[in-house]
Amino acid sequence: MDIEPKSRELESSEGVTPIVRLNAVRGRIARAAAEAGRDAAEVHLLAVSKTFGGAAVRALAEAGQQAFGENYLQEALDKQSALHDLPLEWHFIGPIQSNKTRSIAEHFSWVHSIDRLKIAERLSAQRPASLPPLQVCIEVNVSGEASKGGVAPAELPALAESISGLPGLKLRGLMAIPAPAPDVDAQRAAFRQVRTQFDALRARGHALDTLSMGMSADLEAAILEGATIVRIGTALFGERTKHA
């Protein structure tokens, strides 16, 4: 059973406000996109608000951010309830347990972390008919880390084929969290592996348009390799308290 840490509110660091942090991240995205010869509008910012409370999310929303990513289900549901007056888009990006699929299917627009068919089937069956299809990404473990979720690249084509046929879901692309790398070239090499898998699936006929990869420390490398969603927490909210 996973333990969800207590939420914290946004802490001001030397007077840095949410709009200042948001604009700084947007600037990084714009510069990286320009270096890659891409339109910055192609890269969507997902604010990862895990362990920060509803007030922190509201402050960033008031600064202009609408899409938020959550790793812990109960924490996310509490925030959704507290912030029901705001037109926010919620993405689930954490590990998924079978006993939590119904709530995820009912309360989120996106899921980034599908890595096995059983979870996809449950999300599909439990997605309310009154809602649009759940937008989903398959998580790929490109670094082969045992401590991380994600399907092995060799198993990806079969999983994508199975998920693409499920009602209630729309397969949009891939998500990855490569192992930390010491420099941009090494970061780019890991993200390039994800892009290669993405391109291979498109060549098989899958209509994919989403690469969810890149975080605060490596968003530039991810954008240079084609990321369309970057998942940013620390650069927007500050450092998180360490939990056991």
Question: What is the tens place of the pLDDT at every residue in 150-200?
Answer: 999 999 999 999 999 999 999 999 999 999 998 999 999 999 999 999 999
Residue 152 lies in a domain: yes
Query: Residue 13 pLDDT more than 50?
Result: no
- Confidence band for 15, pLDDT divided at 50, 70 and 90: low
Q: What is the pLDDT of residues 58-109, one digit of tens each?
A: 999 999 999 999 999 999 999 999 999 999 999 999 999 999 999 999 999 9
- Quick one: pLDDT at residue 5? 47
Residue 12 lies in a domain: no
Residue 13 lies in a domain: no
Contacts of 96 (CB under 8 A, 6+ apart): 104, 111, 113, 114, 119
In this structure, which long-range contacts are made by residues 85-94, counting pairs with CB atoms below 8 Å and at least 24 apart in sequence? Answer: 86/58, 86/61, 88/57, 88/61, 91/46, 91/67, 93/46, 93/48, 93/69, 93/175, 93/212, 93/231, 94/50, 94/70
Phi, then psi, of 37 in degrees rounded to 5: 70, 30
Domain region containing 84: 18-237
- Quick one: pLDDT at residue 143? 81
Residue 51 lies in a domain: yes
Residue 211 lies in a domain: yes
Q: What is the dihedral of CA 128, 129, 131, 134, to 10 degrees?
A: 70
What domain count does the chain have? 1
Query: Residue 223 pLDDT more than 50?
Result: yes
Percent of the chain with pLDDT over 70: 92
CATH of the domain at 107: 3.20.20.10
The first and second tokens of residue 141, run together, are 């473990």
Residue closest to 109 by CA, chosen among 85, 125, 93: 93
* Whether the Cβ atoms of residue 201 and residue 16 lie closer than 8 Å to each other: no
- Confidence band for 240, pLDDT divided at 50, 70 and 90: confident
- Quick one: pLDDT at residue 125? 98
- Confidence band for 1, pLDDT divided at 50, 70 and 90: very low
* Whether the Cβ atoms of residue 104 and residue 111 lie closer than 8 Å to each other: yes
Residue 81 lies in a domain: yes
Residue 92 lies in a domain: yes
- Does pTM surpass 0.75? yes
If residue 164 lies in a helix (H) or strand (E), which one and from where to where?
helix 156-164
Q: What is the pLDDT of residues 111-154, one digit of tens each?
A: 999 999 999 999 999 999 999 999 999 999 988 877 788 999 99
CA distance 115 to 23: 33
Residue 4 lies in a domain: no
